[in-house]
Amino acid sequence: MKDYIEERAIEIAKYIIKEQATVRQTASVFGVSKSTVHKDVTERLPKINPLIAGKVKKVLDKNKAERHIRGGKATKMKYQALNRR
């Protein structure tokens, strides 16, 4: 694996842990695709640093469990904004 890929995977992991960020948020910050972020943290990171990989997995699992709530809030805000017009 190339050095810059390993460095990116570690930086992405640190960001996700620090900000409790979703894959989508992280991808936009780092300017890469969601697929790249996901591959970095699920496939590459465990080989590089299993301890950090475990912490990232906990954050991503929490985000996945809460995503239906965030989706509902976004829909509610959308329709509230439409009704104000």
Tens digits of residue pLDDT in 15-46: 999 999 999 999 999 999 999 999 999 999 99
The count of structural domains within the chain is: 1
Cα gap 44→55, rounded to integer Å: 14
The H-assigned helical ranges of the chain are 3-19, 23-30, 34-39, 45-48, 50-83
**Its pTM surpasses 0.85:** no
In the prediction, which pLDDT does 40 show?
96
Structural domain harbouring 31: 2-84
- What's the whole-number mean pLDDT along residues 54-70? 92
